[in-house]
Structure 1
Amino acid sequence: MPPTTNGRGRPRLESTDQRIFEAARELLRSKGPAAVNIDSVAAHSGVARTTIYRRYRGRDELMHAILEHLIDPAPLAPDLEVSEKLRWVMDQISDILENRLGPGATAAIIADSDPEFTAAVRSRLAIRLNALADLMSIDIKAGRLQAQTDPDTVLGILVGAYLAEVLRFGSPRKGWMERATALLAPAVVKN
């Protein structure tokens, strides 16, 4: 990757930026937000603390950068049948909780062990989950979902079911997402 510069001193190497980011992300995913600080990121990445401080003024700025990258707006839903779209929504939830936040951050949110972190994640998640709720609202208006369907309740059921499955078995069992969405679909899909 070509070096970047902030206008002063030596050019910044994207590989160094990537090492810092990956170390911070891995610490967050595996151990939660309490494990992410400049010292731990330096030790985990092999990048000097001074180098990290040149890029981030402190932990708060580093955490903000991580969250900006980890929780982006929801992608556009593919053109699918409603039952398949429910599975797609479940895949989005899985991606957020498993791949992006990871068990350490998810546990910290549930326990509210770092209220500032929890609030930051919730505000970013709200944007993504609201986009998914809006997709369901479109399906309600188009007559593909029952009129009494509450998108926020459906999302809550999907998130809650996913978390319960992970709590019970460590990760979703093979075919569980298909079974869960097949169970929910008849309750919301308009016949």
Structure 2
Amino acid sequence: MTRVGRPRSAAADAAILRAARELLVERGIGGASIEEVARRAGVSKVTVYRRWDSREALLAAAIESSADGLPGRTHTEADAAELDPEMTYDEMVTLVAAALPRAAEILASEEYRALLAQAFGSRFTHPEIMAAYWENHIVPRRRVAIPILARAVAEGRLPPETDVEAVLDMTIGALLYRLLRPGEITPAEMLDHLRRVYRQAGLLPDA
């Protein structure tokens, strides 16, 4: 949880989150203490605690900050599908298609993949981190995708008996499977994977 108080320094925020991401990648959750984060960021522990109440809250924010620019994180083009329920299916998927190249760059980055592994690895050892990641990362993106799938069913692009929630779960699972699999992946490969999975799920039109 972020504290409320005097105006925050955006530069300090960025430095703290960057330091936390670096330490998570280099040393894991156990090596990313408040003291180490503050030291690397060049700030005091008090400065860190003014912004985040706990180490878990800070590390969850650090993991989520690696996803800046992904649809669902901020009001990017693809988020318009959630904001305007009157859009047609074609209009919705056009916005999704436009957002995919940037999403592929982020998802393919070594930092993002390493932080994703840390988030999922915290499920039992640091459940607060995984809970915050789920609420701030997964849930908003589901809110973007569900109206698209519902519109696809309504317009006959998907069978009327389609279980939208199950389709979305399978889509997310396919993406996570690829991201957590060993080996490098280029942005171009990730973009191709995104397009193929999204087409199968009804989140993109047929090629």
Are the counterparts in 1 of residues 57 and 129 from structure 2 also a CA contact under 8 Å? Answer: no
Task: Determine the structure 2 residue equivalent to 1:171.
Answer: 185
Q: Tell me if the contact between 2:171 and 2:197 (Cα under 8 Å) persists in the aligned partners.
A: no
Question: Counterparts of 1:115 and 1:177 in 2: how far apart (Å)?
Answer: 31
Q: Contact 1:29/1:104 (CA < 8 Å) preserved in 2?
A: yes
Deviation, 1:141, is 1.2
Shift of 1:60: 4.0
The structure having more radius of gyration, on CA atoms, is 1
Q: In the alignment, which of 112, 120, 139 is matched to residue 152 of structure 2?
A: 139
Pair 1:121-2:171 in alignment: no
CA displacement at 1:41 relative to structure 2: 0.8
* Whole-angstrom CA distance in 2 between matches of 1:163 and 1:98: 11
TM-score norm. by structure 1 comes to 0.65
- Select the residue among 76, 80, 84 that pairs with 1:76: 80
Does residue 39 (structure 1) correspond to residue 35 (structure 2)? The answer is: yes
> Which amino acid is the alignment partner of residue 11 of structure 2?
S
Which TM-score applies when normalising by structure 2? 0.61
Q: Name the CA distance, whole Å, in 1 between partners of 2:27 and 2:98.
A: 28
CA shift digits 1:129-154 (9 cap, x unpaired)? 23312221122112232323333333
- Tell me, yes or no, if structure 1 residue 16 matches structure 2 residue 12: yes
Change (3 A) 1:94 1:32: farther
1:148 alignment counterpart: 161
Quickly say closer, same or farther: Cα 1:176–1:20, change in 2 above 3 A: closer
Does residue 107 of structure 1 match 2:107? no
Number of corresponding residues: 181
Q: Percent same amino acid among aligned pairs?
A: 25
Structure 1 residues 183 and 165 mapped into 2: Cα distance closer, same or farther (>3 Å)? closer
Runs (5+) with no aligned partner, structure 2: 82-86
Q: Is the 8 A contact 1:140 1:149 kept in 2?
A: yes
Q: Distance in 2 between matches of 1:14 and 1:151?
A: 39
RMSD value over aligned CA atoms?
4.1
CA distance in 1, matches of 2:98, 2:169: 15
Q: What's the secondary structure of 2:80's corresponding residue?
A: coil
CA deviation map 1:15-63 (0-9, x unaligned): 2232123222443466554443311211221223233334444324434
Give the unaligned 5+ runs of structure 1: none
- Give the C-alpha shift of residue 6 in structure 1: 1.6
Partner-residue secondary structure (3-state), 1:153: helix
